Amino acid sequence: MNNSEVRERIEKLRREIEDHNRRYYILNQPVISDFEYDLLINELATLEKKYPEFASDDSPTRRVGSDLTREFRQYEHKYPMLSLGNTYSFEELDDFDQRTRKLTGEPVEYVCELKFDGASISITYNKGVITRALTRGDGTRGDDVIDNVRTIKDIPEKVSNPSVPDEFIMRGEILMPRDVFKSLNEQREKEGLNLFANPRNAASGTLKTLDPAVVASRKLVCMFYFLLGEYLPYDTHYGNLMKAAEWGFTVADSIRVCKNIEEVKEYIDFWEHKRDSLPYDTDGVVIKVNSIAQQQELGFTAKSPRWAIAYKYKAEQALTRLNSVSFQVGRTGNVTPVANLEPVFLAGTTVKRASLHNADQIFLLDLHLHDMVYVEKGGEIIPKIVGVELSSREEKSEPVKFIETCPECGTPLVRNEGEANHFCPNYLHCPPQIKGRIEHFIGRKAMNIEGLGEETIDLLFSRGLIRNIADLYDLNAEQLVPLERMGEKSAGNIIRSIRDSVNVPYHRVLFALGIRHVGETVAKTLASRFPSIDDLMSSKEEDLTMVREIGPKIAASIVNYFSDNENIDIIRRLREAGVRLSGEAGKEKTTGNSLEGKTIVISGVFSRHSRDEYKEIIENNGGKNSSSISGNTSFILAGDNMGPSKREKAAELGIPLVSEEEFLKIIGED
């Protein structure tokens, strides 16, 4: 490659890796395996080393991926929370051992720990009391999720032991047991919610939930792996972990001290298959130098400690035959190819289908019908095809071709420039899109209409009772009672919930409409800038792109949605049904600047508004919501059953408690 091609490849790799970091750390929706991610990182690192003129301090090879979010207060880690270097081979493990012994100039003892696949946490204790719980963040700063961490039963709030230092930090991995994960996804499927891809994503997503009660309900556990501080009880990593176990911290009994690298390899081999019997997901083994003095001597790179490395197990694969490829249409019209396979046993389950993601993936695999394919289950719900056994290909086999028309309605598919997916533009008349849009509309974070699940929506659609979201408001109980598995009580509850949904706030209605590319955050932004649906409908693309967070793609999608006469008719019918299509109604007394500059924590149960509504009211009146109490907290909006830990913290810091009635007087809603 010439210099121009090298620069282009480096920039492309950086963009791609940053996108995968965002999907992994923020969205908890990874689309590639750890192995594939590491290949990208290694390629980028090799190019940057070979062409130092293109090196950059902002490169993802020099930074830890970040999970920082705006919903939590952030603090600096006292000790940077770096990532580990990865290896997939014993040869590279030997290189690590030789390098380590050469730098220390003496024999090295290692500690081997199973690499549990969850969400990393760093918990600070002062005088035996938990004071802070930070996520990894960007390695330098993390989100303080202390209220959520306090709900995890095996994390001690207080440690009473004479050997405990005045200040110390425990690091661990917050995990969701496999059986809890399975039950959670089964429940989410019943409620029509998106499924978590794997236990790691579920644990990470739960940890960033703003409601500690939700966290408590999900039965998370924490496995601790590191004790840090200035006055530690022992001069070895293993000794300190065993002492932490005496203090009441959960430490895996699988941890072993290995006298040399050969014992490390034996440990890795032992656990490669036995780990499947554990209640938690593991994806490798972490190898650490045991001596604290040697750790300090070895030091760190910009991104990783030199005294530790992670050996990653390769995802389990199976070889099976590709029978056919089907194409599924989602609610937004995206068309996803799915491989139908000869059933094969893989990672504890029988696999019959595998994801192919998009047309590019089919092309890269050079996939033919009846190929023998390698299937990998790297943590995703639906496994994926990662390779083809070309030696088994039939002579006259036909290549798999991506379809040109929608498999449901026959409309020619569209692929926009810069997008990976094909989609069906016939969103008003394509059955899976219509049903998917109705399911989205009734969702908990949208109109929150209870009693209507995927099966009921499908039944109502097949009987011709609904064809769009506005039809819901024309339903009556008499139409529902004769349906399968439906009685008078169920029918009455559904109709009542539909009627109640007209009170849902305007920004949630915008989200519920299912406009392509308009998620929860964008809907809130639009509602604050365009206070009524009429204002939004009359806006042009240039008006929209002037709004923060609204780019050309979102703007074009909004204008396109409101340029369709059938959508306009749906809006008219929603208006006639009484659905809130402006931010004005009911807000005359809850909008202003009475909370300007104030940071408020909400705790407890309320009678006049829900917690989410109070958060919205605080923002509308110039205030800022916070999930944790600190010296910057102005006051606590305290409802019934306020948590005792928050009450104690408020008393300790002298932060006033404001009742619901007092708060409503402050904002003028009394």
Q: What is the dihedral of CA 592, 593, 598, 604, to 10 degrees?
A: -10
**Starting at the edge strand that comes first in sequence, how are the strands of the sheet with 167-175 ordered?**
129-135, 119-126, 167-175, 221-228
Contact 280, 253 (CB under 8 A): no
Residues 6+ apart with CB under 8 A from 128: 158, 159, 160, 161, 164
The angle at the Cα of 201, spanning 276 to 73, to the nearest 5 degrees, equals: 135
Give the number of residues written for the chain. Answer: 670
Residues 6+ apart with CB under 8 A from 138: 63, 64, 65, 66, 68
Contact 200, 116 (CB under 8 A): no
Residue type, 473: Y
Contact 337, 325 (CB under 8 A): yes
Q: Where are the alpha helices (DSSP H) in 74-210?
A: 90-104, 146-149, 178-190, 199-207
Bridge partner residues of 130 (DSSP): 125
* β-strands 110-116, 282-289 pairing: antiparallel
Output the CA–CA distances (angstroms, integers) from residue 3 to 7, 13, 43, 57, 254, in the order listed. Answer: 6, 15, 16, 20, 49
Contact 512, 446 (CB under 8 A): yes
Output the CA–CA distances (angstroms, integers) from residue 492 to 448, 476, 496, in the order listed. Answer: 16, 8, 6
Q: What is the dihedral of CA 220, 225, 230, 234, to 10 degrees?
A: 130
Three-state secondary structure call for residue 56: coil
First to last CA, the chain: 71
Question: Residues with catalytic annotation?
Answer: 115
Buried residues in 570-601 as b, exposed as e (16+ CB within 10 A): bbebbeeeebbbbbeeebeebbeeebeeebbb
Q: How far apart (Å, rounded) are the C-alpha atoms in residues 516 and 426?
A: 13
